[in-house]
Structure 1
Amino acid sequence: MALLQLLPSARHKDRKLCAIKLFNRKKVMEKDMMQYLESEIRIISRIHHPAFPEIYEILYEPEWIMVVMEYLCNGNVIELIQENVFFTYDEKIAIVKRIAEGLEYLHKRGIAHRDIKSENIVFDGNFNPKIIDFGLCKENPNNLETYCGTMNYMAPEVIKTCNYNGKKADIWSFAITAHVIMTSQMPINYMSEAKFVHDVKKGKMTLKNYCIGEMRTLIDDCLMQDPAKRPSAFQVVLKLSQMLNINKEDAIASEKVVLPKLLSEKKFIARCKTKKFGAMLNKNFNIPHVMKLTPNVNFRRVSSF
Structure 2
Amino acid sequence: MELSEDPELQLLLFGLFLAMYLVTMLGNLLIILVIVLDSHLHIPMYFFLSNLSLVDIFFISTTIPKMIVGINMHSRIISYAGCLTQMSFFLLFVCMDDMILTVMAYDRFVAICHPLYYTVIMNPQVCVILILLSFSVSIFDSQLHNLIALQVTCFKDVEIENFFCHPSQLLNLACTDTLMSNIVIYFIGVILGIFPVLGIIFSYCKIFFSILKIPSSSGKYKAFSTCGSHLLVVCLFYGTGIGVYLGSAVSHSPRKNAVASLIYTAVSPMLNPFIYSFRNRDFSNALKRLHGRVF
Mark yes or no: TM-score above 0.5: no
TM-score by length of 2: 0.32
Q: Which has the higher contact order (CA 8 A, sep 6+)?
A: 2
TM-score by length of 1: 0.31
Judging by fraction of residues, say which structure has more strand: 1
